[in-house]
Structure 1
Amino acid sequence: MRLLQESQCFLFAFLLLLHVVTGEKDPVSFEESAYKIPPTGQTIPQETLDLISTSNRFYHSKYRTLCQPSQIHLSLGDRSKDINPSSTGMHLSFSIPNRITQECHPDQIQIEVQYGLVNSDVHSSFLIHEHDENVHIKQYSYTSPFATTETYDSDFQYHVAIHDLDFDSNYWYDIKVVKLSGKQLDSSSIMVPQTKRYLRREHPNKARKVFRTAPKPGSTKPVKFAIVGDLGQTYNSTTTMLNMLSSLQDEDPPTALLIAGDMSYANTIQQEWDNWFNLMEPITQKVPMMVAAGNHEIECDAKGNHLPFTAYENRFWMPNRLGDAVLKPVEERNLDDAKVWTFCATPSVFEGQYDFGNAFYSFEYGMVKTIVLSSYSKTHKGSEQYKWLKRELIKVNQDRKQTPWLVVMMHTQFYTTFKAHNDEKQTMDMKDSMEELFLQYKVNIVISGHDHAYMRTFGMYNGSRVKDGCAPVYLIVGEGGNREEHVKSYLNPKKEVWVAIRDRSVYGFGSLEVSNSTTARWTWNMGNSGGFKDDVWLQNQYHF
């Protein structure tokens, strides 16, 4: 009987994955990702399955009739856009079908965003206009280096800024298509056909979505981030996502999500980006997501302008962007190389012209200032990124009482105990130019992915553990669960003296809970996988 129950659970999870993670198979290495039936002895807790099965957005694209939004994800608002210093904002991103019908072109539909404070009778609404400075609508065509006879035309990617929100408050929101090709719609005309009975979802416009705005800089209220890297779309990564989703039901849930690069592992097959956003939507429609560019986001276009980071720039809208991205095309000769993967798709060693846009940016969240860097942009002294980083560090250190915790996130790692991506050129160039700034301007924590493993160091500088601890702690959080699985080996059988803890056996995500200006709790969460554990209280290395 127990075996039958486990088999049913396996089948349920497998059907759910097939239903959600659909699209064109990756012709290059799809068999490596293999949306597998869960390994023997591993099950998803029933309460987690119940939670995700009632989420209101899991349905296949063929059911997306009448231009309904999908792939909803949030990111924090821009600090400079709110004239009132007592207010904040949120970015709302979503996809409207392009490939199904031409009726969904932005010129043919009218979309209304409604929002308001939870438990308040007052609400606001506005219609999205294409030429509004608070609205950015993107649509891109892309040809994979591995399928040059086919061109992918993306859905319309909407990025909408909502301003003048209260700090540290719960807001509900709805996205409604209210007009289609000159026809006014009512609630009955926008119903999406029911899919499978086991999904038990409500129509998206019947279930209001809720987010929480950021605490004000200088606030002493504790904040909590979920942090992960190198996710992908396998059974293991989906389990990680389910565990993150479950954590949103905790008494003290994370209210922001940081991803240290390598999100979808689409590897130039753009349909897999659609799949990944559908998988993440139950989380990202509630919690703002801030991301860093990884090597699996490079994905240069094989035709047209040969620009890298095409999907990354079009599908995300990060807070406090410095302007439109400045990108230099990948040289065409590399696209014809027999090792095109090395040059264009997901090269581990790549340093190109990629400034502004989603490449590097920063945001404040209560007591925490986070700076996100691009490992694959120019990083030398005098580069745009280096100059911007120094300005940001000077500015935040003018008053660290406002944000006593300073976090840096990037994809590649300055320090590693693993034999996988150690000493890669662009990472060492970045370390040579920027590590001194991290120490000088008192960075507390540096978060990276890239190695598919987990590591936490002691305070580090110039290759050595700093005796008094007054140096950044480095975290590798690449155990999200992607198709390439764990790193194969350590650099040394015994962990180095500067390594506090390391692992290459489990999958999970991190939780950073900043309690006050001096103390933060860091934990590594694996759901029910057991085994390895890291749960530590970190003391602020500096006194402000």
Structure 2
Amino acid sequence: MELKFVLTAFVFISATVTTAEYIRPQPRRTLEFPWDPKPSSHPQQVHISLAGDSHMRVTWITDDESSPSVVEYGTSPGGYNCGAEGESTSYRYLFYRSGKIHHTVIGPLEHDTVYFYRCGRQGPEFEFKTPPAQFPITFAVAGDLGQTGWTKSTLDHIGQCKYDVHLLPGDLSYADYMQHRWDTFGELVQPLASARPWMVTQGNHEKESIPLIMDAFQSYNARWKMPFEESGSNSNLYYSFDVAGAHLIMLGSYADYDEYSDQYRWLKDDLSKVDRKKTPWLLVLLHVPWYNSNEAHQGEGDGMMAIMEPLVYAASVDLVLAGHVHAYERSIRVNNGKPDPCGAVYITIGDGGNKEGLAHKYKNPQPDWSVFREASFGHGELKIVNSTHAFWSWHRNDDDEPVRSDQLWITSLVSSGCVAEKSRELRKILMSP
């Protein structure tokens, strides 16, 4: 009873904070990457991602087209008692030609275990830690990263966080048609992305389409393959995965989403399989926010919201994370524009460090559903403690890691009775043609 009182008081106190008085520092320049020659067979831009139950996908690039898509791994340095061979691809973009992009799935792996691995039988040894099998689990969250001084600050802060999985709601490299910027981004994030799984979804800066010449998302899909096939999706732009008692759904803001689209049908099918006894927490990530009181990108998510929010609400999604707007904003539980104790908490966190700068202008008066909003670069951390409680915190880049600029205890909708209350409504939507 005493713990419940403390948590309730904490939620109330944190929810009363609105816009903090804070003087923002100046923008930082785009990072420069001096040429660093490597043997053509050595792995570059190494990153990992979850690939179904107890498996991990290892992705890397080599300049040598004859390099094998082989990963050797084990639980001791240099002790590679396991191995797997995967697939490879490459692509051309106007006058640019990518290296050989390798994707190899390894496993089954033990939970909460450190593995050492080598890619293509060449080059340095890497190591990663698998997520735990059960709570607690911690997610690092940062969208709209780019490659600026602020990006480096964000990554440095995330590196200080004891997290298990990184979530990125779109806009990764800001290559914007300059394909070599995908390569420099891969090198920039490799120290973190090779050590913890990065689960990403696409943003508008990944589109890179040229009418009649280049298809959209060609670079993104080739380089950042996510577990869409493992989750029954036909597109790398939307997928889902389970980890330690949480079911996460990554939606595609730039894929068709109307009621007759593949994405909508897949989402209904995916939600029909969710067992809240096994995964009591249900999270959604997408790029374009549905709730946004910033002047930037105002209303851009309204079409998708009109179609999908009723389904998200009926499914009792606990938390929706978005990017796109280069600022931070957190809502109370909300549905259909109004406070609702059975709605999701919406968080916009497109403030990872992009080159376009911050979105400073907010609409006034502040909407009833908006609790905290601030135009600063930073990252978020979500620690799901158990089946009923999670702790969310947001950290400004220029603050030391112990300083939290916003924080909130979140109670799961399973424990509040909302899931049971809305089960009939959800079944009705799922059974509709």
TM-score bin (small chain): 0.7 to 0.9
Which whole-Å CA distance do the structure 2 matches of 1:74 and 1:289 have between them?
6
- What's the secondary structure of 2:273's corresponding residue? helix
State the partner residue of 2:430: none
- Corresponding residue to 1:313 among 210, 221, 233: 221
- What's the secondary structure of 1:63's corresponding residue? coil
State the partner residue of 1:214: 131
Aligned length: 388
Say whether 1:34 aligns with 2:33.
no
Q: Specify whether residues 323 and 166 from structure 1 end up closer, same or farther in structure 2 by C-alpha distance, changes over 3 A only.
A: closer
State the partner residue of 1:330: none
Which whole-Å CA distance do the structure 2 matches of 1:280 and 1:72 have between them?
9
State the partner residue of 2:384: 514
Which whole-Å CA distance do the structure 2 matches of 1:73 and 1:36 have between them?
20
- Would the aligned equivalents of 1:141 and 1:154 in 2 still touch at CA under 8 Å? yes
- Corresponding residue to 1:105 among 61, 65, 68: 65
* Pairing of 1:227-242 with structure 2 (within 5 A): 227-242=141-156
* CA positional deviation for 1:246: 2.5
* Pairing of 1:140-179 with structure 2 (within 5 A): 140-143=91-94, 151-177=95-121
- Would the aligned equivalents of 2:137 and 2:385 in 1 still touch at CA under 8 Å? yes
- What's the secondary structure of 1:542's corresponding residue? helix
**What do the CA deviations read for 1:433-482 (whole angstroms, capped 9, x no partner)?**
1100111011000000011000110011111111xx11100000011111
* Pairing of 1:377-526 with structure 2 (within 5 A): 377-396=255-274, 399-424=275-300, 427-466=301-340, 469-492=341-364, 494-504=365-375, 506-526=376-396
Which whole-Å CA distance do the structure 1 matches of 2:34 and 2:165 have between them?
27
* CA positional deviation for 1:62: 4.7
State the partner residue of 1:93: 59
Structure 2: any 5+ residue segments left out of the alignment? 1-26, 418-433
- Would the aligned equivalents of 1:111 and 1:177 in 2 still touch at CA under 8 Å? no
Q: Specify whether residues 279 and 463 from structure 1 end up closer, same or farther in structure 2 by C-alpha distance, changes over 3 A only.
A: same
* CA positional deviation for 1:419: 0.3
- What's the secondary structure of 2:305's corresponding residue? helix
State the partner residue of 1:63: 37
Counterpart amino acid of residue 161 in structure 1? V
- Would the aligned equivalents of 1:33 and 1:482 in 2 still touch at CA under 8 Å? no
Which whole-Å CA distance do the structure 1 matches of 2:356 and 2:399 have between them?
19
**What do the CA deviations read for 1:250-291 (whole angstroms, capped 9, x no partner)?**
xxx101101010011111110111111110000000010011
- Corresponding residue to 1:297 among 200, 203, 206: 206
Give the TM-score normalised by structure 2. 0.84
Which whole-Å CA distance do the structure 1 matches of 2:120 and 2:248 have between them?
33
State the partner residue of 2:168: 259
**What do the CA deviations read for 1:157-190 (whole angstroms, capped 9, x no partner)?**
1111112212332211112446xxxxxxxxxxxx
* CA positional deviation for 1:112: 4.2
Q: Specify whether residues 61 and 105 from structure 1 end up closer, same or farther in structure 2 by C-alpha distance, changes over 3 A only.
A: farther
Counterpart amino acid of residue 399 in structure 2? S
- Would the aligned equivalents of 1:361 and 1:372 in 2 still touch at CA under 8 Å? yes
Which whole-Å CA distance do the structure 1 matches of 2:79 and 2:230 have between them?
37
Query: Could you tell which deviates more after superposition, 454-463 or 524-533?
Result: 524-533
State the partner residue of 1:278: 187
Which whole-Å CA distance do the structure 2 matches of 1:68 and 1:60 have between them?
18
- Would the aligned equivalents of 1:78 and 1:320 in 2 still touch at CA under 8 Å? no
- What's the secondary structure of 2:311's corresponding residue? helix
Q: CA RMSD in A?
A: 2.3
- What's the secondary structure of 2:157's corresponding residue? helix
Q: Specify whether residues 119 and 322 from structure 1 end up closer, same or farther in structure 2 by C-alpha distance, changes over 3 A only.
A: closer
Which whole-Å CA distance do the structure 2 matches of 1:111 and 1:434 have between them?
39
* CA positional deviation for 1:110: 4.0
Structure 1: any 5+ residue segments left out of the alignment? 1-31, 38-58, 80-87, 98-103, 129-134, 144-150, 179-203, 248-252, 325-354
Which whole-Å CA distance do the structure 2 matches of 1:70 and 1:61 have between them?
13
- Would the aligned equivalents of 1:89 and 1:213 in 2 still touch at CA under 8 Å? no
Between the aligned residues of both structures, percent identity stands at: 32
- Would the aligned equivalents of 2:73 and 2:80 in 1 still touch at CA under 8 Å? no
Counterpart amino acid of residue 319 in structure 1? P
Q: Specify whether residues 323 and 271 from structure 1 end up closer, same or farther in structure 2 by C-alpha distance, changes over 3 A only.
A: farther
Q: Specify whether residues 392 and 316 from structure 1 end up closer, same or farther in structure 2 by C-alpha distance, changes over 3 A only.
A: same
Q: Specify whether residues 323 and 538 from structure 1 end up closer, same or farther in structure 2 by C-alpha distance, changes over 3 A only.
A: closer
